[in-house]
């Protein structure tokens, strides 16, 4: 088997194990705070749950560019192993937390050392032939989506069977196994001497250099809008399902089903749309997927039953499957040689920013416009992203090479 296919296969399982492990705690985080960490006031539990959940994204947003800079200097596989083994240890320690403060600090530490996903994307992008880039990005994304879908389900089942604390130990073991697979099976051709011979820019200088590549700035903006639009209705979705369902019977099942059906269609469509982007171009797939996603948000504001919501969100997932893989493939296409990891890490930071701000915005404005209005705002944002892509990526322009300005010094 070709080396790029082996790397892709191993990192697919790595993405699955890491994302499944990271999302396994979602169903029982509030219960863990209540039953194991001594909180009793419902409002206090809700506040701590939100802060602890967001803590991971805050530090991830801040530190991803640093890890990307180091990956371009020392290699992507090294950063992938650093992140994987580090997260395995921190996740295990969460099972020993004795207070909400300890759990929050561990979540923030986890975000600080995280980076398995961007490192995997950067490694696959630099070892995959360009004619297969869309397929590789789509396939890798499907592994992450599969882990995200099954993680909460597996966590809920095991929490009932084993209790809460053992889930953190199991999660740490899963991430450790995924990292071991990468250690022994993934290969990267990286010349450290050559990389070290290049002037090493600071994180800020690296961003300034990449900012001269206009398509990259557009892709970062699109990533933020995608995550912002996707996450803004999520905290309100169980309440919306309850409103449509009209009863508390099987409410948890339906709320979970509505959330997972989008990931299921995303899982199916990601490799297909990725392969199609290799034939017709990632720019076109990105534009069509954004337009389709925008359209699919509109009927969610007007459905009258849970089944209608399920059907619309399944269709939404089909279009979502073309978004992040197309963005990743285009980032690789427009990034100057030697700065791939930094480019992907900055994109991960914008993704984390969308993950943080989206739910806060949705919860804040829903009191004024309702969840129906939040759906329409999400549709408008994605439609705006379509015009952004059209103006920056699809508009014909003379062939040009993006040049990086000469640095005045070699400061790291």
Q: Report the alpha-carbon distance of residue 342 to residue 71 in Å, rounded.
A: 8
HEC sequence for 175-212? HHHHHHHHHHHCCCCCCHHHHHHCCCCCHHHHHHHHCC
Residue 226: pLDDT band with limits 50, 70, 90: confident
Q: Report the alpha-carbon distance of residue 6 to residue 17 in Å, rounded.
A: 17
Q: Which helix (H) or strand (E) holds 255?
A: helix 251-280
> With 60 as the cut, is the pLDDT of residue 302 above it?
yes
Overall average pLDDT of the 213-234 stretch = 86
What pLDDT is recorded for position 1? 65
Q: Report the alpha-carbon distance of residue 29 to residue 154 in Å, rounded.
A: 14
What pLDDT is recorded for position 40? 80
Rg (CA), the chain: 21
More confident residue, 239 or 307: 307
Residues contacting residue 298 through CB under 8 Å, at least 6 positions apart: 375, 376, 379
Overall average pLDDT of the 157-170 stretch = 82
Q: Report the alpha-carbon distance of residue 88 to residue 189 in Å, rounded.
A: 26
Secondary-structure percent of the chain, ordered helix, strand, coil, rounded to 5: 80, 0, 20
Q: How confident is the model over 193-217, as pLDDT tens digits? A: 666 666 666 667 777 788 888 888 8
Overall average pLDDT of the 240-248 stretch = 77
What pLDDT is recorded for position 270? 86
> With 70 as the cut, is the pLDDT of residue 254 above it?
yes
Collapsing DSSP states into helix, strand and coil, what is residue 6? helix
Q: Report the alpha-carbon distance of residue 300 to residue 372 in Å, rounded.
A: 7
Residue 406: pLDDT band with limits 50, 70, 90: very low
What pLDDT is recorded for position 407? 46
The structure tokens 């300005």 sit at 405
> With 50 as the cut, is the pLDDT of residue 402 above it?
no
Residue 249: pLDDT band with limits 50, 70, 90: low
> With 80 as the cut, is the pLDDT of residue 152 above it?
no
Overall average pLDDT of the 388-392 stretch = 84
Angle between helix axes 340-389 and 116-127 (nearest 10 degrees) is 90
Contact 15, 124 (CB under 8 A): no
Q: Which helix (H) or strand (E) holds 273?
A: helix 251-280
> With 70 as the cut, is the pLDDT of residue 410 above it?
no
> With 90 as the cut, is the pLDDT of residue 293 above it?
yes
Overall average pLDDT of the 4-19 stretch = 88
Q: Report the mean per-residue pLDDT for the chain.
A: 82
HEC sequence for 47-68? HHHHHHHHHHHHHHHHHHHHHH
| The pTM of the whole model exceeds 0.75 | no
Q: How confident is the model over 25-37, as pLDDT tens digits? A: 765 677 788 888 8
> With 50 as the cut, is the pLDDT of residue 400 above it?
no
> Looking at 142-146, 248-252, 298-302, 391-395, which range is the least confident one?
248-252
What pLDDT is recorded for position 308? 94
What pLDDT is recorded for position 379? 94
Q: How confident is the model over 343-361, as pLDDT tens digits? A: 888 888 888 788 778 877 8
């Amino acid at each position: 088997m070709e080396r790029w296919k082996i790397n892709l296969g191993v990192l697919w399982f790595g993405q699955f194990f890491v994302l499944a492990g990271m999302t396994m705690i979602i169903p029982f985080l509030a219960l863990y705070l209540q039953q194991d960490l001594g909180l009793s006031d419902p409002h206090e539990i809700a506040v701590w749950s939100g802060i602890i959940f967001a803590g991971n994204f805050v530090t991830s947003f801040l530190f991803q560019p640093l890890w990307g800079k180091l990956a371009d200097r020392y290699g992507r596989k090294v950063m992938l192993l650093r992140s994987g083994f580090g997260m395995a240890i921190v996740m295990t320690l969460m099972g020993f937390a004795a207070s909400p403060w300890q759990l929050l600090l561990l979540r923030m530490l986890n975000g600080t050392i995280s980076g398995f996903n961007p490192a995997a994307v950067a490694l696959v992008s630099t070892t995959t032939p360009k004619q297969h880039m869309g397929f590789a990005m789509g396939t890798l994304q499907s592994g992450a989506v599969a882990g995200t879908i099954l993680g909460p389900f597996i966590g809920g089942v095991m929490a009932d069977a084993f209790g809460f604390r053992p889930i953190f130990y199991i999660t740490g073991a899963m991430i450790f196994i995924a990292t071991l697979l990468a250690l022994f099976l993934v290969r990267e051709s990286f010349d450290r001497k050559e990389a070290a011979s290049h002037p090493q820019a600071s994180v800020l200088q690296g961003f300034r250099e990449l900012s001269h590549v206009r398509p990259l700035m557009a892709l970062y903006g699109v990533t933020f809008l995608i995550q912002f639009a996707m996450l803004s209705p999520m905290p309100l979705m169980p309440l919306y399902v309850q409103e449509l369902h009209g009863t508390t019977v099987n409410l948890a099942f339906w709320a979970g089903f509505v959330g997972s059906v989008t990931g299921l269609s995303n899982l199916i469509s990601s490799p297909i749309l990725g392969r199609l982007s290799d034939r017709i171009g990632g720019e076109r797939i990105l534009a069509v997927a954004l337009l389709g996603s925008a359209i699919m948000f509109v009927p969610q504001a007007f459905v009258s039953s849970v089944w209608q919501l399920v059907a619309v969100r399944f269709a939404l997932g089909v279009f979502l499957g073309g978004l992040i893989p197309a963005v990743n493939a285009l980032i690789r296409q427009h990034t100057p040689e030697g700065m791939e990891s930094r480019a992907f890490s900055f994109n991960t930071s914008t993704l984390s920013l969308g993950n943080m701000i989206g739910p806060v915005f949705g919860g804040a404005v829903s009191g004024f416009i309702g969840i129906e209005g939040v759906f329409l705002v999400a549709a408008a944002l994605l439609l705006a992203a379509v015009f952004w892509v059209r103006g920056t990526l699809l508009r014909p322009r003379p062939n040009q090479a993006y040049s990086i300005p000469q640095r005045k010094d070699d400061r790291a």
